[in-house]
Amino acid sequence: MTVSVGDTAPDFSLPDQDKQVVTLTDLRGAPVLLVFYPFAFSGICTGELCQLRDELATYTDAGVKVLAVSTDPVFSLKAFREKEGLDFPLLSDFWPHGATAQTYGVFNEKAGMALRATYLLDADGVVTFAQVNQPGDAREQSAWKDAVGQLAA
């Protein structure tokens, strides 16, 4: 079952690219943009995360913390972050493989990867925006910015 608008986002604790554990509930008090993506270094994912990098101020200026989640191991995420100059945490849902994506209902079991899913959580952890795209279907990030604007209003 996919997490929907109005749901409280399921908590998780995942290591980032530097093996520092990030726990979602520890971020309460600020909005969070949670971006699941299939794989580091893949074409569409790289394009999406680089666009997010280039437009990061849209989110951070509104007080939104950005977290990107994939099923890649931390070592791949560290190399990906350094190569692309990504300035937000890349979280590893590697082991147990895809457990967090499964909890959100956005795990493609056949391919062993997360779907392209985006959630905007308010300061209390309630989902205010949810979008799930299939593999190969790039996301239009203007919807994310609109959701951030509505949350800030």
Low-confidence residues in the chain, pLDDT < 50: none
**Sign of the dihedral defined by the CA atoms of residues 118, 114, 15, 85, in that order:** negative
Q: What is the pTM of this model?
A: 0.95
Which pLDDT does position 63 carry in this prediction? 96
pLDDT at res. 151: 87
Catalytic, 45? Answer yes
The predicted pLDDT at position 135 comes to 77
The ranges assigned to domains in the chain are 36-152
pLDDT tens for 121-146 read 999 999 999 999 977 888 889 999 99
Catalytically annotated residue among 14, 24, 45, 77: 45
Burial class (CB in 10 A: 0-12, 13-18, 19+), 149: exposed
- Distances in Å between the Cα of 151 and the Cα atoms of 30, 31, 126, 135, 145 are 11, 9, 11, 28, 10
Assign a CATH topology to domain 36-152: Glutaredoxin (3.40.30)
pLDDT value for 19: 98
